[in-house]
Structure 1
Amino acid sequence: MKAVLNGTVVAEAPQDQLIKIEGNWYFPPASVNSDLLIPSATPYTCGWKGECQYFNVKDGDTVLQDRAFSYPTPYPASFDRVGQDYSNYVTFWKEVQVTA
Structure 2
Amino acid sequence: MDIFAAAPQPLLLKKVLKQENNFIIRSMVVVYGYGKEPMVLLTNKRVQKKAEVLSILKAYIIRWRIEEMFRVQKQEFDLENVWVRTLRSLKRMFLLVSIMISL
The TM-score with structure 1 as length reference comes to 0.29
| Structure of higher RCO (CA pairs closer than 8 Å, 6+ residues apart) | 1
Structure number with the higher strand fraction is 1
TM normalised by structure 2 equals: 0.29
